[in-house]
Structure 1
Amino acid sequence: MIKPRQLHKGDTVGVIAPASPPDLNRLEKAISFLESLGVKVELGSHLSDTYGYLAGKDDDRLADLHYMFENPEIKAVISAGGGYGTSRIAGSINYRLIENNPKIFWGYSDLTFLHTAIRQKTGLITFHGPMLCSDVGKENFDSVSKQMFDQLFHPQELRYSEDISPLVTVSEGKAAGEIVGGNLSLLVNSLGTPYELDTNNRLLFIEDIGEEPYRIDSFLCQLQLAGKLEEAAGVIIGDFSDSEPVKRRESLPLEEVWNHYFASLEKPVVSGFKMGHCLPHFAIPLGAEAELCAYSQTLSIEPGVTGKEANDENPKN
């Protein structure tokens, strides 16, 4: 895996909207937060565009993404928000450009499709973390979530335990591997495409928002039938907010859904991680090596950035 170079004060970060239109009022507040970290901010040319439910036409959103990776002055690419639209541009991305210009790429939700595509096409570690309009620009953006940006400036091992939130062991065991995954519905959308998620000997992380238990059940069923659960070394169950049954009042509780798909896997599966559409939002480097222990209910993750230039640490043949 390729680790991007850490940020330094005075660096410039680029902000893009590769999915749906961002809330510009929240974005303004979020930019102030980024500047308080000591970095400069450059906005994508099409950041304020709208094209129905998309933040501009596909070619324009793609152009902003390419520009941020190509420009040597930009040291990190941060998403303003999610929504929908990243899968529409995945097939047109210049992955060689990204591989030759590795840098921090940060976001979540609909960005899951890009996380998977970029990692599997280039080997670049990317970051599943709070987005500017969805989280940072909110009044209740908390101190724990703010601290998660520190990992971009200082290579550091992350450790998650019950000191952060209550955790539940669904299946016992201990395993290590690269963390992959993200938004559950987007992971399912990748099946059958050139960007289909590879879970083999990896720790699968899942989260989602606004999906009822029967929908979550259907997503997991599809992953199971595709062999993705059996291939995984372990499963990290993140936050599933707004999952109360509405359309189907008669429902199984989520705990029963977890047990049905995970309890007999004979590998570590732990739920309750505050990772996803939630605050606090524990940010993680996708593609980094990690260890999940269901006995101690801990998750340890290696640093996602390096103090060296990425191309120096990961020379091409």
Structure 2
Amino acid sequence: MILPKAIQPGDTIGVIAPASPPNLSNLKKAIPFFENLGLKVKVGKYVEKVHGYLAGTDEQRLEDLHNMFLDQEVDAIICAGGGYGTGRIAASINYDIIKTNPKIFWGYSDITYLHTAIRQQTGLVTFHGPMLASDIGKDDFHPHSKESFNQLSEPEEIIYDESYSKLTTICEGEAEGPIVGGNLSLIVNSIGGDYEIDTRGKLLFIEDVDEPPYRIDSFLSQLKHAGKLDDAVGVIVGDFNNAKPKKDRPSLTFEEVLDDYFKPLNKPVLSGFNIGHCQPHYAIPLGTQAKLCTHTKTLTIEPGVIGGSS
């Protein structure tokens, strides 16, 4: 495990768009948020490019990713938004560049594919958290979401309990292990490929948006058949925004789907975490050691950064 250095006032945030074209108006409105924290912002060369549903060609998005890790003036990299496209560049990434230039890497949604690939190829701890165009630049960006960025400036343990949101126990228990995962559909997309998620001895975190119960059922079915649920020591269920049945057909509820897959596991499963496509959206490090306890309804996570930047 490699912990990136914490950032301090005067440091520089690099912004890239490795997936879909970000909303540029929201992106520009998000930049003052970092400037008010005393940080500089450097936007990637190709962030404003549009190539169909992609933010530039694969080569352009890959170049921005590599350049931000290579740039010695950049202390952290935060993605502009998600959408689709990171799986297209994962096999072309030079992971030695990342391993020899470790720094904070932050995003969620489609960025899940990069979180898994980077961690499994380099050992670097990355962060699942709000992005510029998708969250920070919007009018409803929550004060608690803003506070999540504090963990980047000083190593701090995160204790998520019911003071943040109501948590529901699906299966009782207590377990410890590194947190892995992210967006459920992206996790499933990794199955069978070179960057298939490894959940052995891990706490599996899942979230998603705009997926009806039957789709979530199909995702969890694939994880089950691939052995990912059995391999995990516990499951953290984040936000599943708009997980509603289609109006014209009968359906199980989202909660019934979760019960079907998680109640028989005989390992801790806790749901209701405001982590994902929601506001507030609490950021967490991926790859650090954590403890999930249903008896106290807590998720305790070790810091994702070390020291301060030089």
Instruction: State the distance in 2 between where 1:99 and 1:308 align.
Output: 18
Structure 2 counterpart of 1:90: 90
User: Aligned pair 1:282/2:282, yes or no?
Assistant: yes
1:4–1:309 Cα contact (<8 Å) kept: no
Q: CA contact under 8 A between 2:153 and 2:308: conserved in structure 1?
A: no
Measure the CA separation in 2 of the matches of 1:248 and 1:120: 42
Do the aligned partners of 1:168 and 1:272 also contact (CA within 8 Å) in 2? yes
Match of 1:301?
301
Q: 2:202 corresponds to which residue?
A: 202
Alpha-carbon shift at residue 308 of structure 1 (Å): 5.8
Cα distance in structure 2, aligned partners of 1:243 and 1:203: 23
Runs of 4+ in 1 over 3 A off after TM superposition: none
Output the CA distance in 2 between the equivalents of 1:26 and 1:117: 28
Q: How far is the alpha carbon of 1:186 from its aligned partner? A: 0.2
CA distance in 1, matches of 2:180, 2:306: 19
Structure 1 position 245 matched with structure 2 position 276: no
Unpaired stretches in structure 1, ≥5 consecutive residues: 311-317
| Counterparts of 2:109 and 2:239, CA distance in 1 | 12
Q: Which residue of 1 aligns with 2:74?
A: 74
Inter-partner Cα distance in structure 1 for 2:248 and 2:70: 48
State how far apart, in whole Å, the 1-side matches of 2:22 and 2:308 are: 33
Q: What count of residue pairs does the alignment treat as equivalent?
A: 310
Residue 163 of structure 2: SS of its match in structure 1? coil
Find the aligned partners of 2:259 and 2:13 in 1 and give their Cα distance: 42
Whether contact under 8 Å (1:179, 1:289) holds in the other structure is: yes
Q: Quick check: 1:49 aligned with 2:49?
A: yes
Write the letter of the residue equivalent to 1:234: G
Q: In structure 2, what is the Cα distance between the partners aligned to 1:249 and 1:154?
A: 50
Q: Which amino acid aligns with 1:227?
A: G
Percentage identity across aligned positions?
Answer: 61
Aligned twin of 1:313: none
3-state SS of 2:264 partner? coil
| Partner residue, 1:314 | none
Letter in 1 for 2:270: V
Following TM superposition, by how much is the alpha carbon of 1:19 offset from its aligned partner in structure 2, in angstroms? 0.3
Aligned twin of 1:103: 103
| Cα separation, 2, equivalents of 1:83 and 1:184 | 14
User: Which residue of structure 2 aligns with residue 315 of structure 1?
Assistant: none
Structure 1 residue 309, shift from structure 2 partner: 6.6
Residues 4, 125 of structure 2: 8 Å contact kept: yes
1:13-32 equivalent positions in 2, closer than 5 A: 13-32=13-32
Mapping for residues 1-317 of structure 1, pairs under 5 Å: 1-246=1-246, 249-307=249-307
Aligned residues: CA RMSD: 1.0
TM-score, normalised to structure 2, is 0.99
